[in-house]
Amino acid sequence: MSDLVGLFNLLAPFFGLIGLGFFCAKIVRRPEGGLAWMQFFLIYVALPCLFYRLIADKPLEQLANWPFVITTTLCTYCAFALSFAVGMWHTRWDMPQGVMQGVAGSYSNIGYMGPPLVLSALGEAASAPVVLIFVFDNLLLFSLVPFLMAIAGAEKRGLAATARDVGWKVATHPFNLATVAGVVAAYATLQLPTALDKIVTWLSNAAAPCALFLLGVTVALRPLNRMPGEVPALVLIKLVLHPLLVWVLLSALGAFDPTWVYAAVLMAALPPALNIFVIATQYNIGVERASACVLVGTLVSMATLTAFLWLIKTGRMTPDLFPS
């Protein structure tokens, strides 16, 4: 019973803030355009500060764990490929729709929920794997999606122009810039001036509550009129198969710290990211399906994420399935 109480106390604030945002959006009528500044604050100010703080005090050898990076990124790619196949089948080989389904079944909420939840569950030792998964999952998906859309004809530019655009967006994304700044700070053992350090701390502390509240508001503003047939399969891939695949492959390779294994499993077990809806809106493809995946995935993850946390906290999930 104490284990369940502990899990409730861990997860309740996260889903409580999402529920609070959902409730407020349902009873308080405000123009949706008002979310723009909050989104800007999160993406360009608060979350970059959070990722800088996660990296800046880490030894460089932790940030160069390439076997871990390759394995976790491969798992995300496998989840994408399987979800893409499901989407293609359900939409009768509509490739742009299939790409959107691929994102829905593989892109975890690693920006808004990942860092605060995983660090609360596993401690500061999990910060390095959290950052690596965040950076390389984003690099994978934000490179893969534009190229597949260009091949499918949904992009209005050729492959060369798409490649230039992807490269520029990756190089200038505020999360990636914050990551580079954190690596430089770690290498140079840089200490920020006291006043600046306090500002960065305040902003990083604001990231999680603002992001979760915004997630609830955004889900509430996207009413689900119809349940697309492929959503249950995509949610199953995202919330169950993806974390299990991470667990199995990291165990097969072995030699990973248990905290890193558990952090990777939890990051994969997170619900679908709100960015799925943003990407669908950008291309004007599969918007209703994206909304359904985010809503249903967030609700179902209350059970599946609790289950994975319970397995980890009670020691029932061994970090190495294949001990030598």
Q: What is the pLDDT of residues 179-217, one digit of tens each?
A: 788 888 888 888 889 999 999 999 988 888 888 888 788
pLDDT for the residue numbered 20: 92
In Å, the largest CA–CA distance within the chain is 59
Please report the sign of the dihedral spanned by the C-alpha atoms of residue 311, residue 315, residue 319, residue 323: negative
The pTM of the full predicted model, rounded to 2 decimals, is 0.85
Mean pLDDT of 3-18: 80
- Lookup: tokens for 68: 């871990």
Query: DSSP code of 319?
Result: S
Task: Please report, rounded to a whole number, the percentage of residues in the chain having pLDDT higher than 70.
Answer: 94
- Asked whether residue 154 carries a pLDDT value surpassing 60, the answer given is no
Give the total number of structural domains in the chain. Answer: 1
- pLDDT value at residue 1: 56
Residue 319 lies in a domain: no
- Give the pLDDT of residue 135: 83
Lowest mean pLDDT among 80-94, 99-113, 250-264, 285-299: 285-299
CB hemisphere CA count around 222 (13 angstroms):
24
The answer to whether residues 263 and 295 touch, using CB atoms and an 8 Å cutoff, is no
- Calpha distance 234→231 (Å, rounded): 5
Q: What contacts 24+ positions apart, CB below 8 Å, involve 239-243?
A: 239/269, 239/271, 239/297, 239/300, 239/301, 239/304, 239/305, 240/304, 241/79, 241/82, 242/75, 242/76, 242/79, 242/105, 242/106, 242/108, 242/268, 242/269, 243/268, 243/269, 243/308
Predicted local confidence at residue 81, as pLDDT: 94
Q: Looking at the domain assignment, is residue 125 inside a domain?
A: yes
Let me know if residue 133 belongs to a domain: yes
CATH number at residue 277: 1.20.1530.20
Model confidence band, residue 324 (pLDDT cutoffs 50, 70, 90): low
Confidence of residue 2 (pLDDT cuts 50, 70, 90): low
Domain assignment present for residue 320? The answer is no
Within-domain flag for 22: yes
The more confident residue out of 258 and 159 is 258
Residue 318 forms part of a structural domain: no
Q: Within 13 Å of residue 149, how many CA atoms lie on the same side as its CB?
A: 26
Asked whether residue 323 is assigned to any structural domain, the reply reads no
Does the residue 301 lie in any domain?
A: yes
What's the domain range around 45? 2-313
pLDDT tens profile 68-95: 999 999 999 999 999 999 988 887 888 8
Contact at 8 Å (CB) between 57 and 120? no
